[in-house]
Amino acid sequence: MTAAPEITQVELAVGGMTCAACAARVQARLNKVTGVTASVNLSTERAYISAPATVSAPDLIGVVEAAGYTAELARPTEAEAAGAKAGQTADEATVRRLRRRLILALVFFVPLTDASLMLSVFPWTRFPGWQWLLVALAAPVAIWASWPFHAAALRQARHLSSSMDTLVSLGILAACGWSVYAMFVLDREQRGLSGLSNLLHGSGGGIYLEVAASVTTFLLAGRLYEAHARRAAGQAVRDLAAASARDVCVLGEDETEHWIPAARLRVGQRFVVRPGERIAADGEVLSGGSTVDRSMMTGESVPVDAAPGDAVTGGTIALTGRLVVRADKVGADTQLAHLIKLVEQAQAGKAGIQRLADRICAVFVPVVLACSGLTLAGWMLAGSPASHAFSAALAVLIIACPCALGLATPAALVVASGRGAQLGIFIKGYQALESSRAIDTVVLDKTGTVTTGQMTVTAVRAVPGTSRTDLLRFAGPVEQASEHAVAAAITALARAEAPFPAPAGTAPPPGAGPVPLAAADDFTALPGLGARGVVHGREVTVGRAALFADRGLAIPADLAAWCRDREQAGCTAVLAAWDGELRGAFAVT
C-alpha cells in the first residue's frame, strides 16, 4: 500500500489583485498544480494553500508570478505582531495615493462635464481650439488618475489574461479615442447643423470625454472606500497583535531579573508581571497576587483576582500587585495567537454569495468583451454607419466598467468580521454570517459579557448602632485608595453622598461644616481579599468574608444571612469593620 503524501500548509501574501477575477485566476493557476488545493481571498490578499511536501513555497510563488501577480510568504503571528505598524503604514499609503488621484479626477471632472455638454449640444458656443480645451481637461483624468487601471490591464495583457481593470481601461481609452476622432474628424462633416439636428444626425459623433472621466472618478471613489474598509478590517488583526507583550522581565535561577524580547520567552521560564503590564504568555501564577483585566480575551467586564496556582492568559493586564508566572504556552501556542489566527481564518474564508460572485467574475470580462463585439457587428450588419455602430459597442463597454460585483461582496464580508473582532465578537467563518439571517433567539451563557462593565453598589446593610453614613464615611476612603473595580463602585457611592457630618468623638474646627471624603493613612492592599487603612484615627478593614475569618472577627448571623442572599442573587458581598467589630456590608454588581 502506497503511503499518502505529506501535506504542508502554505500561506502566501499576493499583491497586484484588484478584483474577484484576479483572485479567481490566481486560485485556478495554483489549483492546476498537481496535489495543490488553494483558496485565494481578494480582501485579505492571501492565498491559503495545501500542497504536497514535494511542492516548495518558491514553486508556488513562481506560479503566482507567472499569472502576473506578486507573491511572498506571509509573516507568522510573531512577525505579524512586530510588523503591525508597517502594515498599517502600507495601508495608509495606499489610501493616500487613491485619495490624491480621486481629488485630481474630481477637480477636472466637473468643468469637463459642463464644457463637454455645452460644446457638443450647442455648436454655436464653440470657439477656435475648443477641442484642445476638452483634451486638456480630460487628459489628467484619463492618463494620471486612471493609471492604476491601465497598469493592471497592461500587466494582464502581457500574460494573455483580463480582469475588471481590462474593462475599465478599455472603456476609458475607447471613450477618449472616439471623442478625439469625433472632435477633430467627424465634427468637420457636421458643421452648420443646429443643436437639435446635431444630436439627431450626429449621434455617432458624440463626445464621451465626460463619460471616461465619470467612470474613472466613481471607480476611484469605490477603490478608496474599499481601501478604507480593508484598512479597518486589518486594524482588527493589528489591534490583537499589538495586545501581546513586546518585552518580558524574566526571573533567573539566582532570582535576578533581566528583560528579553517576548518572542524569546520559552516554556518553563519564570517571568515577572508588574502592575499595569501585559502578561507575556499563558501560564500559572507561582507567587504574588493581582487583579487581572481579562476583558479582551473572555469578554468579562470585571477584573478577576489572580493568586498562586491560578492560570493567567497572555495579553491580559495585571492591574494591582506583582506576579511571578511560569510560562506554559508561548508564541503561536497562546490563546491570543489562536484568536489572531481565528480572525485571519474568518477573513480568509468565502461565503456562498462570494463564491458565486467569484464564478461570475471569472467569465464576466470575456462575456462583456464578446457582447461589445457582437453589438458592433450587429449594427454594422444592420446597415448602420460605422460611427453609430462603434458608439453602441462603446456604450456596452462603458456601462459594464463600474462593476462592483467582485468588490462589494468580499469587502462587505471582511469588514463584518473585522468590525466584529474590534467589538470582541470573533466570527469563525462567513457561513456564520450567512446563517445569522435566520436567527430568532440569542442565548448567552455569561451575563458578564452583556453588562456595561461598570460595577455599582445595589444595597447597603449596617449592623445596629452603625448608620449608612458611618459605613460610607469610613469604608469610602479605604476603597478610594484601591484600584479594584469593586472598590471603585463603593468609592463612587461614597463620593455621591459626601460630604458627611464630622465623626463622633472628633472635634472639628469652630464653624466647620460637613467634611468631604477623607484620605486613608497607612493604606495596605490585601490582594484577593481586600484592603485596610486608617481613617479619622481608626483602623478600617474592607474586604471579603475570608479576610475577617482569618482575623478572628465573627460575622453577625443576620449580616451573614444578608450576604448569602445577595451572593445568590449574583452580587459580590463586601464587609467593612473598624474598632475590631463588623459594621456592615455592601452588595456590588
Q: Annotated catalytic sites, by residue? A: 445
Provide the grid cell at 242. 499589538
> Closest by alpha carbon to 583, among 549, 541, 522?
541
Helix ranges, 282-349 (H): 295-298, 335-348
Cell (9 digits) for 441: 433567539
Q: How far apart are CA 67 and CA 70, in angstroms?
A: 9
Residues present in the chain in total: 589
What is the DSSP secondary-structure string of 395-435? HHHHHHSS--HHHHHHHHHHHHHHHHHHTT---S-HHHHHH
The CA distance from 342 to 328, in Å, is 21
What does DSSP assign to residue 140? Answer: I
Question: Cα separation of 17 and 339, whole Å?
Answer: 27
C-alpha triplet 391, 188, 383: angle, nearest 5°: 40
Q: What DSSP string describes 214-233?
A: HHHHHHHHHHHHHHHHHHHH
**φ and ψ of 291, to 5 deg:** -90, 140
Strand-pair partners of 251: 257, 270
Contacts of 154 (CB under 8 A, 6+ apart): 169
Residue 481's CB is within 10 A of a number of other CB atoms, namely 16
CA distances from 40 to 13, 37, 81, 242 (A): 10, 10, 23, 26
